[in-house]
Amino acid sequence: MNKLPADWTPQPTARMCFVCGRENPVGLRLHFYEDLEKEQVIAPVIIPDTYQGYPGITHGGIVAAILDETSGRAIMINAESTPFWVTAKLELHYHKPTPTETPLTAVGWVVKRRRRVAEVAGEIRTADGEVTASVKAIMVYPHEETLKDWKQEQQFWQVQE
C-alpha cells in the first residue's frame, strides 16, 4: 500500500470482529482512518483470494461485510463517546465485480444523523476511482441489553499499532 496521508486519524478496532478484529485468525483485519476534512472513514484494502466467490472476484458477502463496517464507522467521526451502533437496514448495489488481490479503498460517510438513528453510505473503489459496490444503510443505537457484552469488551477497543 502507498503511504497514508499524515492527516488521517486511525480508528480503534476490536479483537475478534470479522472485518477489523486484530486477533481474528480468519478475519480481514482492516485498518480504518478518519479523513476529517472530507468527513469520511477510509480503509485501504487488498482482499485475499481466500475470500473469492469466483476466481479473482470477491464474494458478495465479503463486499457486504466491508461496506457494512465502513459505512457504520462513519458515525464515529467527531463522536463524543464510543458510538457502538448496529445495522438495521443495508441496501447494497453491486456495480461491477470487486477484484481480489488488488489495491482497493473502502469509504464511508454519514448522510444524516439523529439521536438514535443514522443514515450512512459507503463505496468500494478501485485505485482509479471506479466504484465496484455501494451501500446505503440505516444504523440504530442499540438497547442496553445489546450493549451489555460490549461493555466488557470495550477495554480491548483500541487503535492498532
Residues 6+ apart with CB under 8 A from 140: 85, 86, 88, 116, 117, 118
Q: Which domains does the chain have, with CATH numbers?
A: 9-149 (3.10.129.10)
Q: Which three three-digit cell numbers place residue 146? A: 445489546
> What is the pLDDT confidence band of residue 30, given thresholds at 50, 70 and 90?
very high
Angle among Cα 81, 86, 89 to the nearest 5 degrees reads: 140
Measured distance CA(68)–CA(91) in Å, rounded:
10
**Residue type at position 68:** D
Q: What pLDDT sits at residue 127?
A: 97
Q: What pLDDT sits at residue 113?
A: 93
Q: What is the pTM of this model?
A: 0.92
Span 31-50, average pLDDT: 96
pLDDT per residue as tens digits for the range 63-120: 999 999 999 999 999 877 666 799 999 999 999 999 999 999 999 999 999 989 999 9
Is the per-residue pLDDT at 31 higher than 70?
A: yes
> What is the pLDDT confidence band of residue 144, given thresholds at 50, 70 and 90?
confident
Bridge-partner residues for 120, per DSSP?
A: 110, 137
Q: Which three three-digit cell numbers place residue 66? A: 466491508
Contact 19, 69 (CB under 8 A): yes
